[in-house]
Amino acid sequence: MKNFPGKRMVAEVLTVAFAAANELFGGEEVVQRGAAFGDMENDTEIKADKEIGEALLKYLSNPLFGIRHISIEGMPDYEVDGAAGSVWACVDPLDGSLNYQMKGDTIGLPYSTCITILSKKEGARFSDIIAAGVVDLRTGDAWAAWIDGKGKKHSTINGNPAKPEKRELDLGSMIVIGEMYYFENRGKLVRIFQGTKGWLRNPGSAAYEMALVASGNVGAYICDRQKQHELGAAYVLVTWAGGMATDFKGKDLGEREFHFNAQTPVILAGNQKILANILYRMKNATEGEA
């Protein structure tokens, strides 16, 4: 898939999403009442989710773009008539819906759009991702990853090469993000960093949080059940920038099967030393439970 126009495609998708979000009025209106924001089984959906998703479907469904399959959170899967090949686009139109709904008249906490593009849908793995992107819908900050015509992999932030954290783990001078939505993960984080002062945070938009590891704004991200349609983008953004992306046993996610609605344990780290430190802490915390 070296000739797939990943750079242009991702840039245009993120531009469409940002424009759609900023042209919205009443986007916080609930259109489908579920159990909670972020709940895989019965999610709450707001107008912004729906309208950004529809704008992206309209853009991506042009058969000339070469995308065959489109999966957008909150919408039925779509097959593009006349599109050649097997390329699969996976989209989360609005990650951080609660943050969007609660922003009021301020910039608020982050909410973002995330896209992951794979060379195929049937039998797809993380290693089949060919392009991805995340845009902060408040500011327009954009992370993008793609493979150029020579097969070289790129990961950028606002058009510049992404640079993950290079230092060793130090919570006193470095931020680590841990997913706080799931109580089991909160418990793990408490045990892992018991007795350690420092910056452990959770802004509430996983796609944005994970992208921050690629650009070095945070040292690591930890979650025991991250949605794959967001994690796919993070995987290439971080690893193609030189960072690490593994499960809780330290195994790279590349050969893991990719399913749009699956959830996967993940540690994203700026470098091998940070990853090794977190894995060591996890092992000790688990042994302490026995």
131 plus 211 within the same structural domain: no
Q: How many Cβ atoms are within 10 Å of 50's Cβ, its own excluded?
A: 19
| Cα separations in angstroms, 251 against 131, 166, 248 | 22, 20, 7
Q: How many domains does the chain have?
A: 2
Structure tokens at 106: 């301020």
Tell me, yes or no, whether 167 lies in a domain: no
CA distance 133 to 174: 24
Q: Rounding to the nearest 10 degrees, give the CA dihedral for residues 218, 177, 146, 69.
A: -170
Q: Taking the complete model, does pTM exceed 0.95, yes or no?
A: no
The H or E element that residue 245 is part of is: strand 244-246
Whole domain around residue 133: which residue ranges? Answer: 6-161
Q: Which CATH number is 181's domain given?
A: 3.40.190.80
101 plus 179 within the same structural domain: no
Domain end residue (candidates: 109, 139, 161): 161
274 plus 190 within the same structural domain: yes
Buried-state track 180-199, b at ≥16 Cβ within 10 A, e below 16: ebeeebeebbeebbeeeeee
15 plus 66 within the same structural domain: yes
Domain end residue (candidates: 134, 161, 188): 161
Tell me, yes or no, whether 214 lies in a domain: yes
Per-residue pLDDT of the chain (290 residues; tens, 9 = 90+): 667 889 999 999 999 999 999 998 888 676 666 655 566 566 667 789 999 999 999 999 998 888 999 999 989 999 999 888 899 999 999 999 999 999 989 999 999 999 999 999 999 999 999 999 999 999 999 999 999 999 999 999 999 999 999 999 999 999 999 999 888 999 999 999 999 999 999 999 999 999 999 999 999 999 999 999 999 999 999 999 999 999 999 999 999 999 999 999 999 999 999 999 999 999 988 765 53
